[in-house]
């Protein structure tokens, strides 16, 4: 028994000396600045979402908060001496509670009590320092006038603000047609920046740091009418690609790059727009083809990453500098949680490159839609390139057998220019 007590004491001493114990034992409370930033995000989502506004309104009403009052005079000497006599007893009680918590391995509680002990020590030191200069009696302090929170979002307590922000995101995912727990689908707040770099920084604050952002897609409802106005994907670090649909149904692509990442390549933008225009796909169809979760690589050849990077950057001639074809197969969940399979192939051409992509999308009744896009790009000059596009769609069974005759678009030829 004595050995057990000694061993427990050694464990307690060792654990109390670990500097990172508090962070390991409990979820960190957001700082005041982080809390206010999260409340601001909630307020922005509430501005766009009736569901988030209802969730905020359903929360218990917050009590009035006292407005900051003018600094009151210090306490009198008698009160200070009485308080100094009380502190040692309170400190001993807290020490006993802290030790009991550590014996039970309740390190979260022990850390909380340690903070209260430190606060008592600081109070004792302050009172001892101020005691000689305190007045004999102190006048009563004026009662502060109560004030109400500035907005419903300000009523969310700091220890609940992260969980409520996550709940607000789930509500908006449901409203925009996504699966509510598909964390890679990000309902975006409205973009307020006027310059390209400002919009890039707004988007960067909403997406995960690279490379996590590559597995996310942002859904933009700019007017709060529960309609998709655009979506954003992140093809490279610090590069945010916004797809929007004009009133005539055509797709426009805008690229926003954070400072220090270079300038966007307009040829790659025009190629994305041209493929979307010729394919006839709508915004929601394009959204369904973007990753909204972890991308699993099934197979990848050696030169694929280099060719893919050059192609995305609009360097089509460089992308075609291959000794043989480069391929990759991946699968990922989209914003609805559906599993998408993709096979990509780069083939060198004389003066350019051919990009073939086969997307397999789930359909009801255990069927799949196979969509094959073949794009041949030959740069004519620094300013323009010649493109030939062929698109084929076919409904198939899960084993790959044809269910219906394929439909084909093309080959269609068009020019892209900077």
Over the stretch 43-61, which tens digit does the pLDDT of each residue have? 999 999 999 999 988 877 6
Q: Name beta bridge partners: 328.
A: 300, 344
Per the CB < 8 A criterion, the answer to whether 59 and 155 are in contact is yes
- The band of 5, judged by pLDDT with boundaries at 50, 70 and 90, is very low
What is the predicted pLDDT for the residue at 216? 96
What is the predicted pLDDT for the residue at 61? 62
Pair 118, 231 in one domain: no
The Cα–Cα gap between 196 and 27 comes to 37
Q: Name beta bridge partners: 348.
A: 353
What is the predicted pLDDT for the residue at 175? 94
Q: Does residue 207 lie within any of the structural domains?
A: yes
For the sheet with 217-220, list strands across it: 185-188, 217-220, 230-236, 239-245, 251-257
Q: Does residue 64 lie within any of the structural domains?
A: no
Sign of CA dihedral 259, 193, 216, 283: negative
What is the predicted pLDDT for the residue at 263? 67
130 to each of 84, 122, 169, 242, how far by Cα in Å?
Answer: 12, 12, 50, 60
Q: Which domain-ending residue is among 267, 287, 307?
A: 287
pLDDT in tens, 234-252: 988 889 999 998 888 788 8
Pair 181, 281 in one domain: yes
The Cα–Cα gap between 387 and 202 comes to 34
pLDDT in tens, 371-408: 999 999 999 988 899 999 999 999 999 888 888 888 99
* Residue 100: domain span: 76-133
What is the predicted pLDDT for the residue at 168? 93
Q: Does residue 83 lie within any of the structural domains?
A: yes
Name the more confident of 17 and 385: 385
Pair 157, 43 in one domain: yes
Pair 300, 395 in one domain: yes
265 to each of 135, 254, 257, 379, 382, how far by Cα in Å?
Answer: 72, 11, 11, 14, 11
Pair 309, 395 in one domain: yes
Pair 127, 111 in one domain: yes
The Cα–Cα gap between 31 and 158 comes to 8
Which two structure tokens, joined as six digits, stand for 185? 């689908």
Q: Does residue 60 lie within any of the structural domains?
A: no
The Cα–Cα gap between 86 and 381 comes to 84
Pair 275, 179 in one domain: yes
Stretch 308-326: mean pLDDT, rounded? 91
What is the predicted pLDDT for the residue at 143? 55
Q: Does residue 145 lie within any of the structural domains?
A: no
- Domains in the chain, number: 4
The Cα–Cα gap between 126 and 120 comes to 10
pLDDT in tens, 186-242: 999 988 888 888 999 999 999 999 999 999 999 999 888 999 999 999 988 889 999
Q: Does residue 264 lie within any of the structural domains?
A: yes
Chain mean pLDDT for the chain: 84
DSSP state of 143: P
What is the predicted pLDDT for the residue at 19? 43
The Cα–Cα gap between 307 and 309 comes to 6
**344-368 burial string, b = 16+ CB within 10 Å, else e?**
bbbbbbeebbbbbbbbbbeeeeeeb
Mention every residue, 6+ apart, whose C-beta is less than 8 A from residue 195.
none
Identify the CA nearest to 316 among candidates 275, 270, 348. 348
Q: Is 6 helix (H, G, I), strand (E, B) or coil?
A: helix
Backbone angles phi, psi at 112, to 5 degrees: -65, -45
Pair 176, 105 in one domain: no
Three-class secondary structure assignment of 28-97: CCCCHHHHHHHHHHHHHHHHHCHHHHHHHHCCCCCCCEECCCCCCCCCCHHHHHHHHHHHHHHHHHHHHH
Lowest mean pLDDT, pick from 96-100, 106-110, 340-344, 404-408: 106-110
Q: Which domain-ending residue is among 287, 309, 344?
A: 287
DSSP state of 135: -
Q: Which domain-ending residue is among 257, 287, 317?
A: 287
Pair 357, 316 in one domain: yes
Q: Does residue 141 lie within any of the structural domains?
A: no
Per the CB < 8 A criterion, the answer to whether 376 and 392 are in contact is no
Pair 264, 313 in one domain: no
pLDDT in tens, 27-39: 567 888 889 989 9
Pair 167, 265 in one domain: yes
To the nearest 10°, report the CA torsion of 92, 98, 99, 103: 160
Mention every residue, 6+ apart, whose C-beta is less than 8 A from residue 134.
74, 75, 76, 77, 80
What is the predicted pLDDT for the residue at 134? 77
Identify the CA nearest to 226 among candidates 51, 61, 356. 51
């Amino acid at each position: 028994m004595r050995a057990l007590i000694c061993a427990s004491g050694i464990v307690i001493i060792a654990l109390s000396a670990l500097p990172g114990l508090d962070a390991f034992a409990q979820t960190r409370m957001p700082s005041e600045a982080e809390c206010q930033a999260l409340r601001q995000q909630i307020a922005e989502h509430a501005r766009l979402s009736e569901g988030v506004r209802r969730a905020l309104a359903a929360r218990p009403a917050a009590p009035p908060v006292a407005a900051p009052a003018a600094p009151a005079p210090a306490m009198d000497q008698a009160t200070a001496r009485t308080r100094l006599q009380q502190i040692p007893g309170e400190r001993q009680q807290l020490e006993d509670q802290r030790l009991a918590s550590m014996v039970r391995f309740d390190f979260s509680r022990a850390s909380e009590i340690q903070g209260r002990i430190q606060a008592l020590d600081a109070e004792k030191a302050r009172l001892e320092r101020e005691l000689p200069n305190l007045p004999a009696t102190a006048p009563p302090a004026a009662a502060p006038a109560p004030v109400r929170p500035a907005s419903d979002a300000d009523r969310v307590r700091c220890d609940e603000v992260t969980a409520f922000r996550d709940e607000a995101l789930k509500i908006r995912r449901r409203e925009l047609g996504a699966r509510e727990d598909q964390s890679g689908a990000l309902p975006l707040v409205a973009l307020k920046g006027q310059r390209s770099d400002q919009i890039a920084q707004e988007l960067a604050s909403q997406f995960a740091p690279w490379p996590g952002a590559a597995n996310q897609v942002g859904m933009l409802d700019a007017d709060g009418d529960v309609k998709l106005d655009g979506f954003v994907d992140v093809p490279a670090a610090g590069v945010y690609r916004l797809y929007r649909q004009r009133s005539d149904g055509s797709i426009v692509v805008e690229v926003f790059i954070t400072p220090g990442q270079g300038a966007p390549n307009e040829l790659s933008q025009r190629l994305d727009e041209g493929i979307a225009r010729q394919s006839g796909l709508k915004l929601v169809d394009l959204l369904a083809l973007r990753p909204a979760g972890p991308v699993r690589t099934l197979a990848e050849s050696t030169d694929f990453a280099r060719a893919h990077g050059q192609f995305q950057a609009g360097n089509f001639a460089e992308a075609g500098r291959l000794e043989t074809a480069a391929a990759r197969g991946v699968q990922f969940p989209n914003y609805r949680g559906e599993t998408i399979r993709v096979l990509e192939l780069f083939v060198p051409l004389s003066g350019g490159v051919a990009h073939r992509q086969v997307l397999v999308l789930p359909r009801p009744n255990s069927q799949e839609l196979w969509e094959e896009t073949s794009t041949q790009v030959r740069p004519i000059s620094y300013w323009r390139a010649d493109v030939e596009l062929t698109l084929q769609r076919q409904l198939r069974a899960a084993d790959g057998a044809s269910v219906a005759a394929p439909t084909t678009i093309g080959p269609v030829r068009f020019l892209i220019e900077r």
